[in-house]
Structure 1
Amino acid sequence: VNPHLVKRNKENRDNTQSKSDKKDALVIADMVKNGYYSFVHVASESFEKLRVLMSNRDVIVKRLVSSINQLNRWVDVVFPELRQVFKDVKGKGAIATLRLFPTPIELRSMQPQDIVAKWKSVMKRQPGLKKAYQLIDLAKRSIGSHQAHDAYKLHLEQLLEEYDLATTQLERVEQEVTNVLQQIPFAKKLLAIKGISEISLAGILGEAGDLSGFAHGNSLLRHAGLHLSEASSGKWKGQIVISKRGRSRLRRFLYLATMCLVMNNPEFKALHANNVKVKKIKKMKSIMKLVGKLARVFVGIAKRNESYSPEKLQPFSALAA
């Protein structure tokens, strides 16, 4: 029984907003009697693994993004000129430089050949002498903080440790996700769709479970909370909106997978162009419409165990031509 519906139905019993354990039990009993409940479908082990792994991945990604943001802040305070040499602070060259030469003080007293030799010890493809000269020149006239270098170096070491740990854990989780997907019969056929990545598919399967158990793609949309909701009364017609009464993580992965398909898949790109240019649908409405198309494609492939057929997704205008 949905807890949200229990809260909504509690006033039907005695027309008051009071709440107690006894009243909750009576409300739940009334709802079960009237059929306002749904059966719990226990997912198989593979889908349960995906759900746990993807939940763990979300936590790791948040930690990784946090460590990258803190590294950017550290560079802004201590050595902001580093970005003139390495545009991306999390790039291999920038990370190697931060490990070997934490502050501009170390760089000022070094020769370019020594810097390149240090880079070679930790990188297969390293920057050349030109960047080494530029790095030394920028370090000599850096406007970064000139105090508490020992404290800043300790802070940087801890940030790099956190960054390394999160990166290693993310690789392990994604490798395990790949192994689990290989155990699901229809996953290989879904991955054959150009634009569908293993991470987005794992997120969808982890939250939705076995797609072959859904009667239709619309059932998957309802499970995700992507079905439409309307509030109207008399002559007044309310705006039709997405209900969002479902699994938020499933909504997110369906949306991200659709965006990747619109950018990389020829069939979905053509459908989106037809919606926007021919049917004059707003871009976001077209994307949400294609989310429904993706749900129907996924459920159809899983139920019938057939391969992806691009010709079935051609827009009517293209078929007529």
Structure 2
Amino acid sequence: MKLFVGIDVSSQELEACFMNSDGDKLETLTVKNNLEGASYLRDRIVAAADKHVSSEIHIGLEATSVYSWHPAMYMHQDAALQKRKAKVFTINPKLVSKFREAYSDLDKTDRLDAWVIADRLRFGRLTTTVVMQEQYVALQRLTRMRFHLIHNLTREKQYFLQNLFYKCNAFTTEVESSVFGHALMEMLSEKYSLDDIATMEVADLADYLRDKGRNRFPDPENVARCIQKAARASYRLGKVVEDSIDLVLGTSIQAIRSIQSQLKDLDKAIERILDGIPGAKCLRSIPGIDRVYAAGILAEIGDIDRFGDQAAVAKYAGLTWRRHQSGPFEAEDTKRIKSGNRFLRYYLVEAANSVKNRDEEFGAYYRKKYKEVPKHQHKRALVLTARKLVRLVDVLLRNGQLYTPRRKVTPAKD
């Protein structure tokens, strides 16, 4: 007999329900969501397993943000539970919610939620256990923070450009160089007025750009002329508004540089952990997958043996399309599932976008999919390319091998 333990998790409590293979409720209890409470729950699970001579223990928790992480890790790592063949699952709340709909007469309480989770465990077909090894967990914390900072940086840059339009509305149309380069950011942070920039000698402005840009401008005089042209073509602000905009731009520049500095620190930490993970070399052998993409993918997948096959990895990432068939009819236009790990999906899609530009096979596949439809070509082709990349990632990680592009064979001449 298997013992199924459903646990409804909140920030304060763990509500547990024990169930046997026949669906009979054996026991319920509530403990605090802390080390002491989890230890007591562990003891009760072990006692129940021994009492009913359980061959396996399946423990399920809803993936409730950070609240389920500690008890799930604790149950997974506990020696007494491991000895009794315990498996721990974190279940997507949507999966539990859909399963609950089959019981239309149930109330909504924590105790009943635990019962529903236990019953869902009893039905099986849960492909992924929860816990990854420690280095993957550490890497995941870093890559998810990097994901968070990248999105913050994008929003901050967009906000900066909005305020730059107030100060110099012609800047982005007249100046081809990136406004986020060091030299231009320095110029904007020093609160030059448009009249100051417009009346400055071109040679002096070029020298300023050359100095602040560390001689990286191929033609600083041309950039200086473009900046002056933009300054002359832009609307003028009143003194009060101009001072406010200068302060906002300066604050935004500080925020952008702070995030960029934090990203550098994170990248160093990611590199240190990545060096100790064997699968990193496999993924980085794929053209276009650098440190960041390899780390993001590995951090979310963890040990590839957690998944039965490449299809399970794709489903976990949300790169699966529902089949719609009825009788002789089968729909060609199907929708991608909305569930899945958004972080893994993000890194796979971003990696696919890079790989298609560097690998001939993936590039040809992307172009083929791009031409198949008249609308949303890039988005569709890129997601399908990411799905193809999943198969390659799965093979490389399972076999521990490096990527070898397919070689074209030229037929022999008669």
Category of TM-score, reference length = shorter chain: 0.7 to 0.9
Which of 281, 297, 305 pairs up with 2:400?
305
Cα contact 1:227–1:243 (8 A) shared by 2: yes
Partner of residue 390, structure 2: 295
Which of 226, 246, 269 pairs up with 1:153?
246
In 2: Cα distance, 1:19 partner to 1:220 partner: 32
CA deviation vs aligned residue, 1:200-256 (integer Å, no higher than 9, x gap): 222211111123543422221122122332344556655643323321221222222
Aligned to 1:88, the other structure's residue is in SS state coil
CA deviation vs aligned residue, 1:47-68 (integer Å, no higher than 9, x gap): 2222111211122112211221
Partner of residue 165, structure 1: 258
Cα contact 2:191–2:246 (8 A) shared by 1: no
Cα contact 2:284–2:290 (8 A) shared by 1: yes
**Structure 1 or 2: more helix by fraction:** 1
Which of 118, 121, 124 pairs up with 1:29?
118
CA deviation vs aligned residue, 1:75-99 (integer Å, no higher than 9, x gap): 2111223332454322344223213
Normalised TM-score (structure 2): 0.65
Cα contact 1:194–1:264 (8 A) shared by 2: yes
Which of 10, 13, 18 pairs up with 2:100?
10
In 2: Cα distance, 1:276 partner to 1:74 partner: 36
Query: Unaligned regions of 5+ residues in structure 2, if any?
Result: 1-59, 61-90
Cα contact 2:210–2:220 (8 A) shared by 1: no
Letter of the structure 2 residue corresponding to residue 45 of structure 1: E
Aligned to 2:296, the other structure's residue is in SS state helix
Cα contact 1:71–1:89 (8 A) shared by 2: no
Q: State yes or no: 1:249 paired with 2:343.
A: yes
Alpha carbons of structure 1 residues 198 and 319: separation in structure 2 relative to 1, 3 Å: farther
In 1: Cα distance, 2:337 partner to 2:312 partner: 14
Normalised TM-score (structure 1): 0.81
Partner of residue 360, structure 2: 266
Partner of residue 304, structure 2: 211
**Structure 1 or 2: more strand by fraction:** 2
Partner of residue 288, structure 2: 195
Cα contact 2:202–2:224 (8 A) shared by 1: yes
Cα contact 1:213–1:303 (8 A) shared by 2: no
CA deviation vs aligned residue, 1:83-139 (integer Å, no higher than 9, x gap): 324543223442232134532143356444443443344231155445445645654
CA deviation vs aligned residue, 1:234-292 (integer Å, no higher than 9, x gap): 56655643323321221222222223222220122244456678xx6886766555434
Cα contact 2:274–2:295 (8 A) shared by 1: yes
Q: Does 237-246 or 180-189 show the bigger shift?
A: 237-246
Q: State yes or no: 1:184 paired with 2:274.
A: no
Alpha carbons of structure 1 residues 285 and 134: separation in structure 2 relative to 1, 3 Å: closer
Query: Unaligned regions of 5+ residues in structure 1, if any?
Result: none
Give the % identical residues. 23
CA deviation vs aligned residue, 1:26-54 (integer Å, no higher than 9, x gap): 32333333336566342123222221112
Partner of residue 70, structure 1: 159
Aligned to 2:136, the other structure's residue is in SS state helix
Aligned to 1:295, the other structure's residue is in SS state helix
Q: Does 103-112 or 52-61 show the bigger shift?
A: 103-112
Letter of the structure 2 residue corresponding to residue 95 of structure 1: M
In 2: Cα distance, 1:241 partner to 1:166 partner: 36
Alpha carbons of structure 1 residues 319 and 212: separation in structure 2 relative to 1, 3 Å: farther
Q: Does 4-13 or 184-193 show the bigger shift?
A: 4-13
Alpha carbons of structure 1 residues 86 and 146: separation in structure 2 relative to 1, 3 Å: farther
Alpha carbons of structure 1 residues 132 and 8: separation in structure 2 relative to 1, 3 Å: closer
Q: CA deviation at 1:190?
A: 1.8
